[in-house]
Amino acid sequence: MKHPFVLSCFQDWNRTWQTHNPDLTPCFQNTVLVWIPCLYLWLFAPFYILYLKRNDRGYICMTHLNRAKTVIGFTLWLICWADVFYSFWERSHGAAIAPVYLVSPTMLGVTMLLATFLIQYERMKGVQSSGVMLNFWLIAIVCATVTFRSKILHALNEPASVNVFKYTTFYIYYTMLLISLILACLSDQPPLFSQAVKDSNPCPESGASFLSRITFWWITGLMVTGYKRPLEEKDLWSLNTEDKSQRVVPQLVRRWDQECNKVKRSEDGQPIEESEILLAKTLQKTGEPSLFCALCRTFGPYFLVSSLYKIIHDILMFVGPEILRLLIQFVNDSSAPTWHGYFYTTLLFVCTCVQTLILQKYFHVCFVTGMRLRTAIVGAVYRKALVITNAARRTSTVGEIVNLMSVDAQRFMDLITYINMIWSAPLQVILALYFLWQNLGPSVLAGVAVMVLMVPVNAVIAMKTKTYQVAQMKSKDNRIKLMNEVLNGIKVLKLYAWELAFKDKVSAIRESELRVLKKTAYLGAVSTFTWVCAPFLVALSTFAVYVLMDEHNILDAQKAFVSLALFNILRFPLNMLPMVISSMVQASVSMKRLRVFLSHEELDEDNVERPAITACDASLCLFRIHVRIPEGALVAVVGHVGSGKSSLLSALLGEMQKQEGSVSIKGSVAYVPQQAWIQNATLKDNILFGRDAKDSWYQKVVEACALLPDLEILPGGDLTEIGEKGVNLSGGQKQRVSVARAIYCNCAVYLLDDPLSAVDAHVGKHIFEKVIGPQGLLQGRTRVLVTHGLSFLPQADLILVMVDGEITEMGSYTELLGRQGAFAEFLRTYTNTEQEEVEESVGGEAGLLISELLSCFHASVLSHTCSISVSCRQSQISLNAAGTGKTPQKTEPNDVAAAKKAKSTEAARLTEADKANTGRVKLSVFWEYMKAIGLPLSIFSIFLFFCHHLSSLGSNYWLSLWTDDPVINNTQPNREMRLGVYGALGLTQELVIKKCFLVCQPSRYLHQTMLYNVLRSPMSFFERTPSGNLVNRFAKETDTIDSVIPSIIKMFMGSMFNVLGSCAVILIATPLVAIIIPPLGLLYFFVQRFYVASSRQLKRLESVSRSPVYTHFNETLLGTSVIRAFGEQQRFIRESDGRVDHNQKAYFPSIVANRWLAVRLEFVGNCIVAFAALFAVMARDSLSPGIMGLSISYALQVTTYLNWLVRMSSELETNIVAVEKVKEYGDTEKEAEWRLEHSTLPAGWPTTGHIEIRNFGLRYREDLELAISDISVNIEGGEKVGIVGRTGAGKSSLTLGLFRIIEAAQGEICVDGVNIAELGLHELRSRITIIPQVPHLNTPKQCWGKLLLKVMHYNISLLRKKVTNYITKLLFMGSNNGIKYLARALLRKTKILVLDEATAAVDLETDNLIQSTIRTQFEDCTVLTIAHRLNTIMDYTRVLVLDKGQMAEFDSPSNLTAKKGIFYKMAKDSGLV
């Protein structure tokens, strides 16, 4: 026979539910309520112990907190055993004790022992705060609270039957549980030797308590700081170790390599059976490594946690409508106890709060995954860029690769947040339909039919979106590529007055991009129409079928508003699914671009073998090139232009594809490229190049490279910051820094690609003697010197003569001269000019045409990437422009001879870091954006939004009136009219919303303004501003204005009107809420302002720290050959990783701040829901079910709307920073006007070319002294004047003054009697011509047309033969930059021609071609030549000698030689006297 107590365990439901004073039976309390916490802990303990074992974070020393937790755990165990022993004692005295009084305390005691063990095990594994244990104590306290209340009620009602011992032990047990719960909320100290202990500013997340982590309380300290004052970089925490590049990037790279190897293995494998051949062929066709698989394997395990959170959240979403049903049922049932209403309200509040916490943890995991994904992609792209071949480099421009790092990586981040919707949306739809079926029956199938019809519409939209996305990205790539060219060649643009032409070119690409954007906007409007339309049409069709199917089907409040709440849940997945599909389409485009780039061919490390150090010689073997260079020898490589000298060095560096044979180099290698590569760092850092500073060796190197005089005149000495690509150094200074860098590295082998061409003759002689020559610093090292300087050849141990990619002769100087072979021919060529031969053979104007045609040919040939293959012994080696290290680089010679000598840190700085603005975004920025849209259009758009939400509110209010209609004979009499009006109101809102989203985007206006302002900026602006900042404006910020801001404004307006509408409905239904809404509104407003202060600043810091990532990347791309030659790849990878991490340091707090905000705002929303329900319960007698249903269904949505409103308002404020950044270039200093309105300049000016310089001087910056001063020169028309002086004397500064690149600080320059300061810049620059130091932009194709028209008049076969032969010879001339500009000069044919060291980097043969063309073609022009090679100006009318920024000598070359002054010394150094 069963014990009577057990029989009464689960009966008597009336005692619990159908009563005004509810209670649970003693049996239920002593079994279920005791067992629930025990089951929880025993269920999770095995998994938790396994997790702790695998994730050991270190060892935490015993602390007071841990001791307290342990003591309380043992105390609870003792209390449980006391209960067990007491029950045994009672039983021994004959009392009838149910087994449950023995089983439950025993089970609880063992569980408490397990809890104590877990507390200690957590400490040993470094867990500072445990969620598992906190949940255990929380469940235990909740279960014990029910028993606690029952015991108190029992003691009050039946004091005689109280068991004092058991009551005492229970109260002690309850108190201990409460203390355990409080202690579990606290966090322990960090483990020994953890990162948090070592770090000066660690991220507080790892040390935060579980409660702090789930509510994101741990970021509050940073938010308070941000509220008190604008956040700065020093306030940002270090990144968590698992988020850093050094942890994340190698994981992705490793997985990607595995994918690549898998594909290689499948391609190499041969199918055995015939049936497999077809399959194998298919695999080979589509055999591409899967980037998607690599990403999944890298980030999938962590991301799966978010899926778990999402499932829990999705299930909790349907609790709200179910409680709403119970509340409406409660209002309808007047006999229901009042506490039911309060119970439902409490349950609703608790469920919504749990839902909030779960959702925010889900988002946190998603965003952190997105952040890691971006870090990994940027790191992988950077690493790949360092190792791809030159052929592969040509297929991806700098603009495309920058877009991979910015736009494409961002697409992945955006997708990760919502990718779970792919499975979550269908799950939500199925659950919603299930509950709707329960509510409305088969009529819900009408709604399903509507949804099915929407699928093909969304599919078509997604397909079109993909097409537009590809087109837009292509235009964006082209635009960024062109902008890179423009920014790199900005000086040439200004010198030639080409700004407007390139502005039109960029604008044309931008217009095609905007056309696609406009189509996308129209598509977005149709898409939005379907999103908003779908849930309403589902509701309308379902209600219509339900009421029309059977007249006895009554649409009451319970059915209508529970269904409406479910439809509102349905709205989110239906809205999100097309967005997610669209994001996936965009991400698939990005993934393909990334996969193609990451699949590019890499340089083979085996191209160059590195034998053991014990080898005595370095041997080189290329096809038909067999040479053995003794260790320590000085080897000169000579040959005509395009003979393959630079290609030989590239082959030695492993930069070219080896077909057969071997290349072997012993020891470390240093490389000096022909075009110096300079980093944006201090001059000293450029020389040290990551090596340790050794002062004595450093001083020797600087002195040997003739840099000491330059250090004297640089504002900060060797701590002067060098601008991007060395903009504040002259060509010679850059080359000497490049040589110094190579020497300082102290390597075994030196490869020098014509390093002396860009320096003056006497400096070149000094460097050869002190550095390269037999007595130089590099004596005893292996040196391979490509040179055009004949004077150095007698000192070489070995000379290699190259012809057409082959070594035809080798030997010492005397040996080769004696052979009378190719070397002797090479020397003879340099003594006779090619031009004279041409003129003798062809004569007259035809000879000139050859010069012109050859010049123009080079202009065209270099505008395309070409390659030539020289075939020998069945093998090929590709010689291409990209592979020779001759990539054009920007040189902007700023002679700083008279620069300030004060070596202050401030003076040493040149570039300005991208600064973060502080404080609130000014209203003027919003005003600018509205003006860009157009004020009438802006106001009309807001009005349409208002109409849309008004009609939406009207339709739902109408539904509430419908549900309150009286029921007569089981029917509602006016249902057709009600249904018709409801449908009409709904369709009105859909039509309004469709019109609403066709707002034109302001992108055109903002981009055009920025482009114009940037092009109008003076050269000093480009020297100060890193190109990464500018590229960032034209890439990322423009993309934000194009795509992000319009959608944010759309969602902000929608959320704002939704919140206002919801508050209005709740106030109408329950006016008592008016007491609560103002304080909640104030709290909401405070939280929002508190958040935005920090969020806005974090966004600015993130934006500012993004630019250096791109700047460094651009810099790296230009110097990959140098980085690889010095073996510095790992240092540059570390630098890039550091910059990415620095950027993510600002991004991580911003995503956590978003979660912080969401938790608090949703709490405010949950309070509104709770109060709406509470006041509805209190006023149930005077409230109709329809109005109550409407009120609570709106209240359930207000949380989401509030969340979105604040998020969108802060997103708007943080993203509008893009407009602020784009607009800021409007306020910077501008050049003088390009053209003056009332110009009186004659059409043919200048007519004679007479130049008069009076007391002229200029300075580079306001805080510097004059760079040149007191120069007074009178140059007659037609004179040929040479300008000479050592590097930094002010030669280029004078030409910059003539072109007004830098405005005069004193004096004036007059051309044909006109003061150039009174002219428009384009009027001046288009009338005089310059051939500058270093080239950039492609020659227009029109030059071919002009020259070929002339050539057609001369049908001379000899001419054609000469041209063809010479073109073949010059096809791959590395130093043809001067020829390119000569072609431009010929086409412009102005009266004044300036040559700025135009022939410095070419061989004598090409120099002769240029000089002879100038003598004949520009015979009647005034020519100013800045020359390093004095032989080019020895026949000039006069020579101007500059020294330290002032005129030293000015006379004819013969007179100056006779005076034996500065010019005489220079001529002597050059061997001319």
pLDDT digits (tens, 9 = 90+) for 669-726: 889 988 888 888 888 888 888 888 888 888 888 888 888 888 887 777 888 888 776 7
Of 356, 365, 372, whose CA–CA distance to 295 is shortest? Answer: 372
Q: What integer pLDDT is reported at residue 11 of this predicted model?
A: 44
Instruction: Give whole-number Cα distances, 1004 to 403, 474, 483, 509, in Å.
Output: 20, 18, 16, 12
What is the separation of C-alpha 1246 from the centre of its chain, rounded to a whole number of angstroms?
Answer: 49
**Which amino acid is it at 1137?**
D
Mean pLDDT of 367-381: 91
pLDDT, residue 357, reads 92
For residue range 482-494, list pLDDT tens digits in order.
888 888 888 888 8
Looking at residue 358, its pLDDT comes to: 93
- E strands, 685-734, are none
Does 864 score more than 70 pLDDT? no
For 581-629, the pLDDT digits (tens) are 777 887 888 888 888 888 888 877 666 765 533 223 334 444 567 777 8
Mean pLDDT of the region 786-808: 83
Radius of gyration of the chain (CA): 40
User: What is the chain's mean pLDDT, rounded?
Assistant: 77
pTM: 0.72
Tell me the mean pLDDT in the region 925-945. Answer: 76
Residue 972, judged by CB atoms within 10 A of its CB (0-12, 13-18, 19+), counts as: buried
Q: What is the pLDDT of residue 114?
A: 92
Distance CA 858, CA 1176 (A): 85
* b/e burial code for range 1144-1164 (CB count within 10 A of at least 16 → b): bbbbbbbbbbbbbbbbbbbbb
pLDDT, tens digit (0-9, with 9 covering 90-100), for 144-167: 998 888 888 888 888 877 788 888
**How large a percentage of the chain has pLDDT more than 70?**
83
As a whole number, mean pLDDT of residues 36-57 equals 88
Nearest C-alpha neighbor of 884 from the set 481, 1337, 1373, 1378? 1373
Judge contact between 1286 and 762, C-beta under 8 A.
yes
Distance between CA 1354 and CA 1359 in Å, rounded? 8
Region 195-211 average pLDDT: 78
Q: Within 129-271, where are the H helices?
A: 131-157, 164-184, 195-198, 210-215, 220-228, 245-268
d(CA 116, CA 123): 11
pLDDT of residue 40: 92
Q: What is the model's pLDDT at position 1348?
A: 32
Quote the pLDDT of residue 966: 72
Q: Dihedral, CA atoms, 919, 923, 927, 928, nearest 10 degrees?
A: -20
What's the pLDDT score for residue 1383? 63
CA–CA gap between residue 466 and residue 461 (Å, rounded): 9
The size of the chain, in residues, is 1473
Per-residue pLDDT at 661 exceeds 80: no
CB 764 within 8 A of CB 602: no
What is the Cα–Cα distance from 1386 to 1384, expressed in whole angstroms? 5
| Backbone torsion region of residue 838, taken as left when φ is above 0, otherwise alpha when ψ lies between -120 and 50, otherwise beta | alpha
Q: Which pLDDT band holds residue 116 (cuts at 50, 70, 90)?
A: very high
Residue of 891 and 174 predicted with greater confidence: 174
Q: Identify the H or E element spanning 380.
A: helix 338-385
Output the CA–CA distances (angstroms, integers) from residue 20 to 327, 338, 340, in the order listed: 17, 8, 9
At 1377-1397, the pLDDT tens digits run 445 555 656 666 778 888 876
Residue range 993-1012: average pLDDT?
A: 66
Q: Mean pLDDT, to the nearest integer, of 1033-1037?
A: 82
Instruction: State which of 436-450, 974-988, 1397-1411 shows the largest mean pLDDT.
Output: 436-450
Between residues 1255 and 999, the one the model is more confident about? 1255
Q: What is the pLDDT of residue 858?
A: 37
Question: Averaged over 94-106, what is the pLDDT?
Answer: 80
| pLDDT surpassing 70 at residue 100 | yes
Higher pLDDT, 832 or 528: 528
Find the angle CA(398)-CA(403)-CA(405) to the nearest 5 degrees.
100
Report the candidate in 905, 1333, 1358, 1152 with the shortest Cα–Cα distance to residue 204. Answer: 1152
Least confident of 850-854, 1314-1318, 1423-1427: 850-854
The torsion angle over the Cα atoms of residues 1283, 1286, 1290 and 1291, rounded to 10 degrees, is 30
Contact residues for 581 (Cβ-Cβ < 8 A; gap 6+): 458, 462
Q: How confident is the model at residue 1341 (pLDDT cuts 50, 70, 90)?
A: very low
Strand partners, 800: 637, 810
Whether the pLDDT of residue 909 is over 70: the answer is no
* Rounded distance between C-alpha atoms, residue 409 and residue 415, angstroms: 10
Q: How confident is the model at residue 1343 (pLDDT cuts 50, 70, 90)?
A: very low
Span 227-259, pLDDT tens digits: 888 888 888 888 888 888 988 999 999 999 888
Q: With beta carbons less than 8 A apart as the criterion, state whether 915 and 1103 touch.
A: no
The C-alpha atoms of residue 1087 and residue 1153 are separated, in whole angstroms, by 11
User: Tokens at residue 1175, please?
Assistant: 């006041």
pLDDT, average across residues 119-139: 88
Measured CA to CA, the distance from residue 836 to residue 1416 in angstroms comes to: 11
